[in-house]
Amino acid sequence: MKLDYVTIFPAYFAPLDLSLVGKAVEAGILNVGVYDLRDWAYDVHRSVDDTPMGGGAGMVMKPEPWGQALDCLLGIGADTDTEVNGRTCVIIPSPSGELFSQSTARELADYARLIFACGRYEGIDARVAQYASSAVEVRELSLGDYVLNGGEVAALAMTEAIVRLLPGFVGNPDSLEEESHSESMGSLLEYPVYTKPASWRGMDVPEVLLSGHHAKIAAWRLNQAEELTRMRRPDLLGRSGDSA
Ligand code: 6GU
């Protein structure tokens, strides 16, 4: 998979060199490109924002640098054979986007290329998404009902959720199956987990987990998952497996 990030703060993406994403790059599963939007801002001040048409507070990102950036990354108008195909998606992180969920992560893990267009200020001129959607799929995605200062942190969070689903990425694929929001957990939160020692600071691991009785353990875990979901996320109950 190829992952591209366009941003006015390329330094935000230093963590991509670390941890699991960095390992996936080393393993050849991932190819990452980080681009400074200002490289496509051609006026003397290399400005990327302007006041909102119609008035109002804050600044809006100008369409021209974004248009240049997307043309370049998608090979539009260039005399190259850069592929523009249906397996590319431009992702615009935005608090006004559709909610990013585990099922969104699964869908995006099937693409050959994702381009994250990270906006700052009050967002990107709406014509940029319209323009990009004439060439490739475009999705405006939100992490949840709160406001971040820009799309960078959201793009990193989405990246981690997507990349860990790629084949060959997680050491033990079974660990993807039983976690919160996985299909096999039927939209339940994951049950509490324990490791050794069996007794720690006066607190004991639940006895059933020491019993070796697999059916009883499975029943206990399901019960715990249901209880936890009822307490913390009642909104998830009654949903089908892949909607969470
Ligand atoms: Cl994707 N972007 C911004 N700026 N704020 C957010 C968000 C995204 N998701 C939740 N809040």
**pLDDT per residue as tens digits for the range 200-223:** 999 999 999 999 999 999 999 999
Q: What percent of the chain has pLDDT over 70?
A: 92
* Contact predicate 42/82, CB 8 Å: no
Distance 99 CA to ligand 1 centre (A): 10
Report, in this order, helix, strand and coil percent for the chain, each rounded to 5: 35, 20, 45
- Asked if residue 106 has pLDDT above 90, the reply is yes
Residue 168: pLDDT band (50, 70, 90) is confident
Q: What is the pLDDT of residue 240?
A: 57
Rounded CA gap, 38 and 66, in Å? 9
Q: Which two tokens stand for residue 227?
A: 């209880």
Query: pLDDT band for position 83 (50/70/90)?
Result: low
Question: 151 CB less than 6 Å from ligand 1?
Answer: yes
Q: Report, as an integer, the average pLDDT of 222-237.
A: 97
φ/ψ (deg, to 5) at 173: -60, -25
**Within 13 A of 118's CA, how many CA atoms are on the CB side?**
28
Cβ neighbours of residue 15 closer than 8 Å, sequence gap 6 or more: 21, 156
SS3 at position 62: coil
Output Rg (C-alpha) for the chain, integer angstroms.
22
| Six-digit token string for 30 | 């991932």
Where residue 238 falls among pLDDT bands split at 50, 70, 90? confident
- What are 89-102's pLDDT values in tens digits? 999 999 999 999 99
Q: pLDDT at residue 84 above 90?
A: no
Expressed in angstroms and rounded, the spacing between residue 94 Cα and the centre of ligand 1 is 5
Is residue 144 in contact with ligand 1, taking CB distance under 6 Å? yes
The residue whose CA is least distant from atom 2 of ligand 1 is 94
CA–centroid distance, residue 97 to ligand 1 (Å):
8
Q: How far apart are the CA of 93 and the centre of ligand 1, in A? A: 6
Which secondary structure element, helix H or strand E, spans residue 141, and what is its range?
strand 137-142
Indicate if the pLDDT at residue 244 is higher than 50: no
Whether ligand 1 lies within 6 angstroms of the CB of 124 is answered as no
Within the chain, how many helices (H) and strands (E) appear?
A: 7, 9
pLDDT at 170: 63
- Confirm or reject: Cβ of 146 under 6 Å from ligand 1: yes
3 within 8 A of 117, measured Cβ to Cβ: no
- DSSP character for 97? E
Atom of ligand 1 nearest to the CA of 158: 1
Query: Best of 121, 143, 149, 152 to mutate for ligand 1, by most ligand atoms within 8 A of CB?
Result: 143
